[in-house]
Amino acid sequence: MPAGPFGIDPLIWAPLRLVIAVALALFLVLNGALLQIYLERKIQAIIQDRLGPYHVGPWGLLQTFADAL
């Protein structure tokens, strides 16, 4: 039987490749959403000149987690 990439059996490699692709896509989407929320809050805080993600915490990095609580 021919070996797939890295000498792994093709019957194992195909689902493994799918799982890796889905995990990577999920990681990128979730981090993209988190980055967009952070940037939106920073821009709104600058425009409104208010306390919040612009002034509170270390660069406002923990504001989203505090709001979730």
* Residue 14 pLDDT class (50, 70, 90 cuts): confident
Task: Give the number of domains in the chain.
Answer: 1
- Cα angle 46, 50, 54; round to 5: 50
| Nearest partner of 64 among 44, 46, 38, 28, judged by Cα | 38
Would you say residue 21 lies in a domain?
no
User: Is 0.75 surpassed by the pTM of this model?
Assistant: no
Would you say residue 52 lies in a domain?
yes
The Cα–Cα gap between 69 and 67 comes to: 5
Write out the DSSP string of 21-49: HHHHHHHHHHHHHHHHHHHHHHHHHHHHT
pLDDT at 17 over 80: yes
Would you say residue 65 lies in a domain?
yes
- 24-66 tens-digit pLDDT: 999 999 999 988 988 888 888 788 876 655 556 677 777 776 7
Containing domain of residue 49, as a range?
A: 28-69
